[in-house]
Structure 1
Amino acid sequence: MILDQQRTSSDTSGRWAVTAVFFVNGLTLSTDIVRAPSLKEAYHLSAGWFGCTGLLFAVAALACMQVVGPLTARVGTRAVLRVTLAVMPVLLAGLAVVPGAWGFAVLTTLLGAAHGTTDAAMNTSAVAVERRAGRPVLNGCHAAWSVSAVVASLSTAALIQAGVSLTAHLVGAGVLLLVAGAVLGARLPDDGRGVPGGAPERAGWSRPLVLLGLTATAVMICEGGALGWGGIFLHEERHATLGLAAAAITAYTGGQSAGRLVGDRLTVRWGATTLFRLGAVLAAGGFAGAVLAPHPVVAVIGFAVAGSGSSVLVPLTYSAVGRLGGASEAALVSRLTTFTYTGILLGPALIGWSAGRLGLAATMAALPVLLLLVAAAPRPRQLVSS
């Protein structure tokens, strides 16, 4: 009895510490994203140069995701996260003070590397906590990330309105996030250790993993479409004002945050497979309403519905991949993270390419079809059995 109580207490502690890491990581990255216009102006960067720094960020993140699996399997997620939670705030603060455009590009690349490492490691830790606790926690962790984006957006707007400089904002945020990371680092569970590198790790590229990875990529392509093109679609195709067009992104992220806050409880009540299919169908319906509705206000509501439906899809996929065999949890999660990151990067680019040839409305209309295919696709037994 005492051992059971100690295990429950440890599981709960691990859950909240890992959830807080999602929030801190999201707040760090989101602060950089919402300050992007100020950084571009401060360093006098052309659109091409600024786009190049974004590409460097993405490439560095994807490259580091390939080594996080073996690393965390060897040393554990706590050791990795304690380092990255210390490095990311310093890099964030450095973006405001580093001299010259080249210095900005170097720090952006390093921030991408640190973020990619953190992303894979924190998802590995969350999967391990969920398995140990015996109940869903992934939706709650991803909800913390979604909420952090809202907090970063609102706080940045308030600070700009108050006249706080870019340097003061990023340096101050860096100090607070550094302290938060140090506090969390001591409370994180030491998860992720598993099968060492070698043949078992290579065997992890199984059919179920690839199927889950492609599912996550498709979901993230749709998410990239909503976040990258939703506002543009409303403004150019539905003639919404710029303010109302921006509300599409707020509606989508708001619906996503709300869905993830209740996603774990719904998983327990309905099961992962049922919830996954319902979420995909709801997201498809929301996207269909957003694209087909002639009135922009109705379209904004559609984006909110799409966000709430899609909210559970990626967390459930992470939960499923953690139950695959053939490799350590760390390796499996890092591979899935590569799929999700590829989807969010490819989504806006693919939609832009297609919109240039077929038109934006026709391209956006393909998103609900893609989600319906996701809903209808056969689920690996790891998702069916949860």
Structure 2
Amino acid sequence: MMDTRVTDTRAKGTGAGSGRWPATAVFFLNGLTLSTAIARQPSLKSEHHLADGQVGALGLLFAVAAIVSMQFVGPLVARVGSRPVLRVSLVVMPLLLALVGLAGGFGALAAANTALGAVHGTTDAAMNAHAVAVERRGRRRILSGCHAAWSVSAVVASLATAGLSRAGVPLTAHFVGAAVVLVVGGLVLGPLLLPAAADRGSVPAPARRGSARGTRGAGGGWSRAFVALGLAGTALMVCEGAALGWGPIFLHDSRGVSLGLAATAVTAYAGGQTAVRVVGDRLATRYGAPKVFRAGGLVAAVGLGVAVLTAEPAASVAGFAVMGAGMSVLLPLAFSAVGQAQGMSAATAVSRFTTFTYAGVLLGPAAVGWAAELAGLTRTLAALLPVLLAVAVLTRLPRSLPVPEPAPAEMAHR
């Protein structure tokens, strides 16, 4: 019986109904929506005559709304499944993007941006929960590929924004046009996602036995191992935020390069990250998640060391590329491990873990700035080296994906 179930799940992982490509497409659509909004920030600031403080306030409202919404996603997905949540959010999120473009004043802009943040947070947690369910159902790693799709969407959005801006397309027309395309994409993609039974199949057995409904595990699960993974996620996002937010500033201020060359730090990091994410799932399947995670963390630390400690600008840019390559597998593997947490549903674990990572996104750039005021930017970035090394060496991940228990519908079918 056990051998049959393993064979069935592996077949699902490679067949047309595995859910891999729809799950990957969700990451692409979500990334395309958010990256479009981010890439147009300069236009938004100019058209609304916003002060720097107002732009910062909009970013804070967005992030806080996303974090708050994440607290409700786990129980919601455990109750109704990730597909219904994503079918709604993939349509509502582009509509809110259009609303941001149509907003007439700062108050309306803040309200629309806050709503966009809340729906993005919902989508972010639900899509990672859905990807975890696809992994467990098919016993095939897909999360690195999903995050690669998000990275690709950021490149697509930035290139599209650059072209439309040069062509003189107004921000409102851009957002409304993008919303139409994204809504159509969401409507087409929604029915292709795995049904709610897949999410129930991703609940660890102890949590499932804790309640007839399979949702009681949503309230507990704050084990030492889970908190350690959460703190590792926070540390990773602090390091990533430092590279993306402060890497160009470091090259310009500390290495004296031009603004144009300094910006290539972000391109190099994103390029290295995207390239390795494409093959990250295969690496983890072949060598095991613990080895790949440890190697990725060490490579990222080496890259950061080269970027910060070398005096040659070209070598620094190459260092950021190496850092991005090493960092590429760390977060997807952590999400996959969190989905196997005992004592709670996968959706609840993922939404809680996403809160940890968003804390790193929020606190990282600011913390680096405060520390740089006291110790200098070079020393501050160098201080992240032991952080990356500690995450690489101390984080414990399961080697393989567990065999999921069949959902009630599958049991009845058999």
- Please give the range of the TM-score, normalised by the shorter of the 2 chains: over 0.9
Q: Secondary structure at the match of 2:192?
A: coil
Provide TM-score, normalisation by structure 2: 0.89
Superposed, 1:131-210 pairs within 5 Å as 131-190=136-195, 191-193=198-200, 194=203, 200-210=217-227
- Post-superposition Cα deviations, 1:292-328, rounded to whole Å, max 9, x if no partner, equal 1111111110000000000000000011111121011
Specify the alignment match of 2:406 in structure 1. none
Specify the alignment match of 1:221 in structure 2. 238
Specify the alignment match of 2:321 in structure 1. 304
CA separation in 1, counterparts of 2:260 and 2:17? 41
Superposed, 1:99-138 pairs within 5 Å as 99-138=104-143
Specify the alignment match of 1:16 in structure 2. 21
Specify the alignment match of 1:260 in structure 2. 277
Distance 1:5 1:282, change over 3 A: closer
Counterpart selection for 2:91 from 80, 86, 90: 86
- Does structure 1 conserve the Cα–Cα contact (< 8 Å) formed by 2:299 and 2:326? yes
- 2:301 is aligned with what amino acid? A
Specify the alignment match of 2:40 in structure 1. 35
What is the percent sequence identity of the aligned residues?
57
- Post-superposition Cα deviations, 1:149-180, rounded to whole Å, max 9, x if no partner, equal 11111111111112222121111111000100
- 1:363 is aligned with what amino acid? T
- 2:388 is aligned with what amino acid? L
Displacement after TM superposition at 1:227 (Å): 0.8
- Give RMSD over aligned pairs: 1.9
Distance 1:161 1:294, change over 3 A: same
Q: Secondary structure at the match of 2:263?
A: helix
- Does structure 2 conserve the Cα–Cα contact (< 8 Å) formed by 1:232 and 1:245? yes
- Does structure 2 conserve the Cα–Cα contact (< 8 Å) formed by 1:282 and 1:306? yes
Displacement after TM superposition at 1:50 (Å): 1.4
CA separation in 2, counterparts of 1:8 and 1:284? 34
- 2:35 is aligned with what amino acid? S
Moved more, 70-79 or 338-347: 338-347
Q: Secondary structure at the match of 2:19?
A: helix
- Post-superposition Cα deviations, 1:101-122, rounded to whole Å, max 9, x if no partner, equal 1000000000000000000000
- Post-superposition Cα deviations, 1:355-378, rounded to whole Å, max 9, x if no partner, equal 011111110111222101111215
CA separation in 2, counterparts of 1:197 and 1:384? 24
Displacement after TM superposition at 1:97 (Å): 1.1
- Does structure 1 conserve the Cα–Cα contact (< 8 Å) formed by 2:131 and 2:143? yes
- 1:290 is aligned with what amino acid? A
CA separation in 2, counterparts of 1:213 and 1:274? 19
- 1:188 is aligned with what amino acid? L
Provide TM-score, normalisation by structure 1: 0.96
Moved more, 104-113 or 197-206: 197-206
Distance 1:233 1:15, change over 3 A: same
Q: Secondary structure at the match of 2:101?
A: coil
- Does structure 1 conserve the Cα–Cα contact (< 8 Å) formed by 2:250 and 2:378? yes
CA separation in 2, counterparts of 1:148 and 1:340? 20
CA separation in 1, counterparts of 2:229 and 2:395? 10
Is structure 2 residue 87 aligned with structure 1 residue 70?
no
Specify the alignment match of 2:299 in structure 1. 282
- Does structure 1 conserve the Cα–Cα contact (< 8 Å) formed by 2:74 and 2:218? no
- Post-superposition Cα deviations, 1:35-85, rounded to whole Å, max 9, x if no partner, equal 001111111111111111111101100000000000000010010001110
Counterpart selection for 1:235 from 252, 263, 266: 252
